[in-house]
Structure 1
Amino acid sequence: MTERVLQGVTGQAAQPGAYAIGLRENGVIADTCSIVEHKFGYRSDIFVETEGKPLNDVFNILKKLAENYDIFHFHGRSFINKWPLQGFPAFQDIIFLKLLGKKVYFHFPGQEVRLSTVFADVNPYHYVRELRDIFIHQPDRIKVLMRDFLVSICDAVFVLDPEILTYVPGAQIMPRALHEADWEYSGFNQNKRPLIVHAPSSRKIKGTDAFLAAADQLQSEGCRFDVKLIEDVPYSEAVCAYREADIIVDQLRIGWYGVLAVEAMALGKPTVAYIRDDLWRDHGSTLPIVNANPDNVADVLRVLIKDSSLRMRIGLRSREYFLAEHTAKKVGAELLEVYRRPFCNPDLSSLANFLVHQNFARDKV
């Protein structure tokens, strides 16, 4: 029997769409579903409104969807959410789908499960102090309850990379993906003044201030290069800038690389990102990423700016790494192996703990 898979339910850096493409390339029926209009215009096959609807109405929507899909794969959130405390009826849709005999999977993209205490302990470049509000908004205690509930009820949970695995022990890494046909090799540019592109979705999280300070320092030293920041522009315009770049700087504080780095590697561009020390020890021998942090990014960029042949070699390695690790077809095949495993048995204690929490949080903001 051919599996029928629904990926959703928000943009999540276009990952639901990329996963659906990868599954279709492996012979699976796969669609995307969204409950919000995304600011970058990521397209979905199905749009449903669940916000503010009575629980019974949402269940009726799910019953209709369940007639057409066997597997539901959620990225970061499900159809029913109640941020920040996830009081009732958050995630009741997952319980309902399981009762309908569906397989359900949950993907943790990052911040919704990144624990402030652990993050501050393992990463010297964390942003817990500067962005204290986003951690207070959803406390670690709530994240742990939510995480343990999802681990208990879902057939499997995924994380995008080893950094997020820090906060969800036992999860399976299912990496970021891009459709290869949409990302032809662009490769080495002959710009006399190398162009460095940086595209921060959040300046503090991405380490933009450290990058700009490094750029100012290098220019004061006489290094000849240009900088382009990509912010609040259409996605198609951003991609054009990536193709023109000689060097792309991704995130400098989280401890792993993100979707921008995958896009840059697909294009064959040397990509700078901070890889946490312990993760670099485990994975650095295979990564084409140029490892830099807020303290040494000027030194790292100086070498890349001055050595065009190094940029070309790293770009070629980057494209090879993308083809080996991040194509939608490859990730789709890995997903399919997991989907075909037997149904899981829920951990009733973790389920009960979350439901007790929801009872107390029912009317809180």
Structure 2
Amino acid sequence: MSSKLFRSARYLFEGTRFPNLSRFARKNQKFEAALSALSPARGRARVDQAIVGNVNRIAAEGDYALLTTLLDALRPFLNPDQSPDARDFWDALVADCRAIAEDRLLSGEMNSLWGVTPIVNLSSGVAADRALGVNARSLVFTTYHTSSNFDFVCSEIQARLVAERGEDWFLFRWLMLIWAIANFDFFHLYNDRGIIEPAGGYGSPRFGIAVREMEIYRQAGKRLYTYAYGADHRTREKNLALGKWNFCSECPDPGVYCVCDDAGGAAMLQVIREYSTAVVAHGLAMKLIPGARNVPYLTVDVKKVSPGPSRSQRGGKLVVGHFPNHGYFKGTKYLQGAVDALQAEGHAVELLQLSGRPHNEILAAMQTIDVLVDQLISGSFGLTAVEAMASGCPVICYLHDGVAVAEREACPVIEANPDTIKQVLHQLISDRTRLSEAGAAGPQYVRKNYSVEALGKHLADLYLATADLPKSLKTRIAESARSLNS
């Protein structure tokens, strides 16, 4: 507590939350001139307004004119590797952000940022953090047509910057890193990339959080948690070794979609592991990422899901749903072949296949089908399967032996692979009792293992074990976790 009081007194004396950056301004005429151009304020508080206040506005409002002004004024300092002045600027900024982070934690405040890969599950991580009382936000620079439910979306301002000012978008990312380390202390990123571009370059030319970014997180006292979504860790030989059916067995173009290269992928994951507070994985990724902690982060907000009627109550043909983004990674051709064969034999079965559709359309389609076939070759289920189970829709999926899904023995997934899918569907056409049982078990299984509340408890355990929190904050996080009803 004495260190906190000392820093508070120092800030009162300095008149700014960024005393090191203020001292840098007094010694560097270029930076002093930049501050004068960016803020009409007088005194040392202008650092707060000129730098952090302005980047906060850009993040919140997407003010393009302000962005270009800031880029032009701070251009000599934004990339820490471009000059000694730029390194000195970042050293001062990082030192101030480290002190600010320590103050926040001592005051009981936790701010987390989830990004930047624009997948649906990002919002669930934010919700789980918020359930613990964490001030959590999400940041993305691109969006897919399947989802755009994020807190800070920089796709439009970045696209305009690329069109009008070319490679200035790289400097824009450095500005956003300033915003991030000034406002957040816990970073949840997928292995493929972070805020700074270009990504990779240390094992993979396309995948990997920029090393300089991870160094800055460490120097600024940030906690970095890294996650896996698929392409960002999947290597070919490791997957092929899993058995006859695996994610790579049907890949049409090795090296295009995923990390793929085993030696390069291992090197990339090793570097990320060295900088991470903890490496997080789940399901099949636990077999592929050394040293990972198993956290079920395929999360659904069960409060927003209403289970549909029992599938055994539906008459008529068996409607099979299948919603892949890339059919060759899901065994789609084997499912289509099984359905075609059953139809040729006179069985009442229909395949509803949707690809690349908005997330809300997929959720709506789940209410119209009798069973979802998630995948038949990759060996674990994804978020679509979890959403289906939460809604009471039975799921068919191929699971590798020993795959680290939650409570494997209680998992209601109906297992099948390309060799057995026709037989499994035939049995379900003849007797829908198994569908009814799997559908009924799904919501409770998800509530217990893959809900926002369940993830909140896992995140609490993760923070308590790895984040080196002040004692009072540990107590609060533990109490928040106990209050969650999953």
Q: What TM-score comes out, normalization by structure 2 length? A: 0.66
Q: Which amino acid aligns with 2:210?
A: A
Shift of 1:279: 3.2
Which of 293, 296, 300 is the equivalent residue of 1:172? 293
8 Å contact kept, 2:248–2:329: no
* Counterpart amino acid of residue 351 in structure 2: V
SS at the partner of 1:244? coil
Cα-Cα RMSD:
2.5
Higher relative contact order (CA 8 A, sep 6+): 1
Quick one: which of 316, 329, 338 aligns to 2:440?
A: 316
| Partners of 2:194 and 2:209 within 8 A in 1 | no
- Paired with 2:179 and 2:234, the residues of 1 have a C-alpha distance of 34
Say whether the 8 Å CA contact 2:282–2:404 is kept in structure 1.
Answer: no
Deviation of 1:155 after TM superposition, in Å, equals: 0.1
On the 8 A contact 2:145/2:356 being kept in 1, the answer is no
In the alignment, residue 82 of structure 1 is paired with which amino acid?
A: A
Which of 122-131 and 167-176 deviates more? 122-131
Q: Which residue of 1 aligns with 2:116?
A: 9
Partner Cα distance (2:315, 2:391) in 1: 16
Q: Matches of residues 233-272 of structure 1 in structure 2 within 5 Å?
A: 233-272=357-396
Letter aligned with residue 308 of structure 2: S
Determine which of 11, 16, 37 is the counterpart of 2:143.
37
Structure with the bigger percentage of helix: 2
Cα 1:293–1:283 change in 2 (3 A) is farther
Task: Measure how far apart 1:20 and its partner are.
Answer: 0.6
3-state DSSP class of the match of 1:178? coil
Q: Deviations over 1:107-129 (max 9, x none)?
A: 01122212211111112113535
Distance 1:53 1:125, change over 3 A: farther
Q: Which 10-residue stretch deviates more, 52-61 or 194-203? A: 52-61
Describe the SS at the equivalent of 2:183: coil
Unaligned runs of 5+ in 1: 345-365
- The 10-residue stretch of structure 1 (311-320 or 77-86) with the greater mean CA deviation from structure 2: 77-86
Task: Give the paired residue count.
Answer: 342
Residues 282 and 55 from structure 1, CA distance in 2 versus in 1: closer, same or farther, beyond 3 angstroms? closer
Contact kept? 2:396, 2:413, Cα under 8 Å: yes
Residue identity opposite 2:237 in structure 1:
T
- How far apart, CA to CA, are the structure 1 residues paired with 2:443 and 2:462? 27
Pairwise CA distance, 1:252: 1.0
Percent identity for Structure 1 against Structure 2: 23
Once the two structures are superposed, residues 229-256 of structure 1 have per-residue CA deviations (whole angstroms, 9 ceiling, x without a partner) of: 0123322222111111111100111101
Q: Does 1:149 align with 2:256?
A: no
Secondary structure at 2:279's aligned position in 1?
strand
Are 1:23 and 2:129 matched, yes or no? yes
Check whether the contact 1:22–1:179 (CA below 8 A) recurs between aligned residues: no
Shift of 1:41: 2.8
Contact 1:187-1:316 at 8 Å conserved across structures: no
Do the aligned residues in 1 keep the contact of 2:370 with 2:393 (CA within 8 Å)? yes
TM-score (norm 1): 0.86
Whole-Å separation in 1 of the counterparts to 2:148 and 2:219: 31
1:82 is matched with 199
8 Å contact 2:373–2:396 — kept in the other structure?
A: yes
Q: Structure 1: which 4+ aligned runs deviate by more than 6 Å?
A: none
Structure whose alpha-carbon radius of gyration is higher:
2
Answer whether contact 2:113 2:139 (CA < 8 A) is retained: yes
Q: 2:77: which partner in 1?
A: none
- Alpha-carbon spacing, 1:290–1:34, altered in 2? closer, same or farther (3 Å): same
Distance 1:147 1:5 in 2: 23
Map 1:1-365 onto structure 2 (within 5 A): 1-12=108-119, 14-48=120-154, 52-53=167-168, 57-76=172-191, 77-80=193-196, 81-82=198-199, 84-86=204-206, 90-128=210-248, 130-131=250-251, 133-135=253-255, 138=259, 139-161=261-283, 163-175=284-296, 176-189=298-311, 190-279=314-403, 284-343=408-467
Instruction: Tell me, yes or no, if the aligned pair for 1:23 and 1:333 is still in contact at 8 Å.
Output: no
Q: Distance in 1 between matches of 2:241 and 2:280?
A: 23
CA contact (8 A) 2:190 2:232 kept: no
Say which SS state the counterpart of residue 44 (structure 1) adopts: coil
